[in-house]
Chains A and B, each alone.
Chain A
Amino acid sequence: MWRWFHKLGSPKWFYAISGRWLPWFAVAALLLLSVGTVWALMFAPADYQQGNSFRIIYIHVPAAFLAQSGYVIMAVAGAIGLIWKMKLADVMAKCCAPIGASFTFLALVTGAVWGKPTWGAWWVWDARLTSMLVLLFLYLGVVALQSAFTDRNQAARASALLSLVGLVNIPIIKYSVEWWNTLHQPASLTLTEKPAMPAEMWVPLLIMVAGFYCFFTVVLLMRARVELLDRERRTGWVKDIISSGKS
């Protein structure tokens, strides 16, 4: 088991293995996303109250899931890099940040767009949207801190610490925003219909969530591979790859 963990630290090994896994994840993502999108747009029923704007849920909810898990993955990878000084973990953490931030942005905007036909306003200060906005700030902070350091390793360690501090704070922030929200909003419509969703609605949702996660894996691996090529440019195996011009 430790040997596998140790191997995981080897960029060359990771590059080879991720190269083999990437096509599979890509195919899975493409399949799940196409089936999911078609089902979401054309076959799923509209909501009784919200009409067809309900279809936005098939983008908003997966994006929100990814936004939150992305941050956790980034923080955990950062922690591993910080504690065990593993280069690969640092690379993963660094690559998670922009991807996670983009999905947070997507979740935020689709949440707002969904709010317009539902509640009549382009933006509402409800608990979920506000928490998502704060999450975006946390992501942007990590990205900003990363780019502020010139030394790559120092940058990785600093942003790892910051994302861990953020991770500890996220439950506190969520709790405080929800508490604040109950004071200032009357019984609010929750954007997502909870358990009372019929199968025709939650099956495509599940498919989309799975598709989003596969896509996340694909782009994360793509970014990580490029980052590794960049970092390890002086090594033999990278030079071979570059000179052979293969993908």
Chain B
Amino acid sequence: MTAQVDVKPVKRGIFTAMIRRDLTAAFRHPSDLINPLIFFVVVVTLFPLAVTPESDFLREIAPGVLWVSALLATLLSLDMLFQSDFQDGTLEQMLLSPQPLYSTILAKVATHWLLSGLPLTLLSPLLAMMLFLSSDGTQALMLTLLLGTPILSFIGAIGSALTVGLRKTGLLLSLLVLPLYIPVLIFASGAVQAAVAGLPIAGHLALLGALLALAVVLAPLAIATALRISLSG
């Protein structure tokens, strides 16, 4: 008994259908969703414990710590992107179906972001407060997370797609993806630091926006190719 997806060869049809399906499936395993968030909170908590709870120091390192922690939490959540679909054969079906692969992939990345990047963004003000980040900084943090986490999802999806057929992919995935995350980290964290210093961040946000645009256009191509390669073994 195959699950019937509305077979309308219209881009919007498969996009929303895919998102709806993946979100429903994800909410059946709420622990998978909460874990990266808990990780985010725990990692941020480690810094005052490891160094000093002094507000001046924490305020200074807050932009970097918050962004690095968000980055690592995203890395943790990348497993869920393609793994389950790969194991039950749905991934193969996706590649064979007449639905435009671009929309399918876009939907998958969008779902991933809705389930990881967005919650991280919403949780960040709480953690920013714990690290004594100013309100300007917190605002910049949320904006950069909003723009940056989708980029992380796109780039992470490339790594995920390349390693989906392999065993023990955890460390390999991090090695592949982290160097590619560096520009996002630099511009986003730089923006938050600039905001804390009272400087304008429009330039930084524009750069992040440009990276996001690039990711939206190019990443799905790479992801599709990677999926085909992974499934051809």
Contact = CB atoms under 8 A, between A and B. Distances in A.
Interface of A: 82, 134, 137-138, 140-141, 144-145, 148-151, 154, 157-158, 161-162, 164-166, 168-169, 172-173, 175-177, 179-180, 183
A150 B232 CA distance: 12
Contacts of B25: none
Contacts of B190: 179-180, 183
A141 B172 CA distance: 8
A158 B183 contact: no
Given A140-B175, A145-B176, A165 B222 contact: yes
Interface in B127-160: 158
Nearest to B210: A172
Interface string B8-33: 00000000000000000000000000
Contact of A161 (B172, B182, B218, B225): B225
A52 B163 CA distance: 48
Interface in B96-149: none
A141 B190 CA distance: 26
Interface string B162-178: 11001001001001101
A172 B151 CA distance: 14
A61 to B, nearest CB: 23
Interface residues of B, number: 25
B163 A148 contact: yes
A154 B190 CA distance: 39
A165 B182 contact: no
Contacts of A176: 182-183, 186-187
Contact of B178 (A137, A145, A157): A137
Of B172, B180, B187, B226, the most chain A CB neighbours within 10 A belong to B180
A145 B169 CA distance: 10
Given A168-B218, A176-B186, A151 B233 contact: yes
Nearest to B176: A141
Contacts, number: 72
Interface of B: 158, 162-163, 166, 169, 172, 175-176, 178-180, 182-183, 186-187, 190, 211, 218, 222, 225-226, 229-230, 232-233
A169 B180 contact: yes
Mostly helix, strand, loop or mixed at chain A's interface?
Answer: helix
Given A154-B229, A158-B229, A168-B218, A177 B186 contact: yes
A219 to B, nearest CB: 25
A172 B215 CA distance: 12
Of A150, A154, A165, A183, the most chain B CB neighbours within 10 A belong to A165
Contacts of B163: 145, 148
B176 A162 contact: yes
19 contacts: A134-B179, A141-B175, A141-B176, A141-B179, A144-B176, A148-B166, A148-B169, A148-B172, A149-B166, A150-B233, A154-B229, A154-B230, A157-B232, A162-B176, A165-B158, A165-B222, A169-B180, A176-B182, A176-B186
B232 A173 contact: no
Nearest to A160: B229
Contacts of A134: 179, 182
A192 B179 CA distance: 25
Nearest to B171: A144
Contacts of B172: 144-145, 148
A137 B158 CA distance: 17
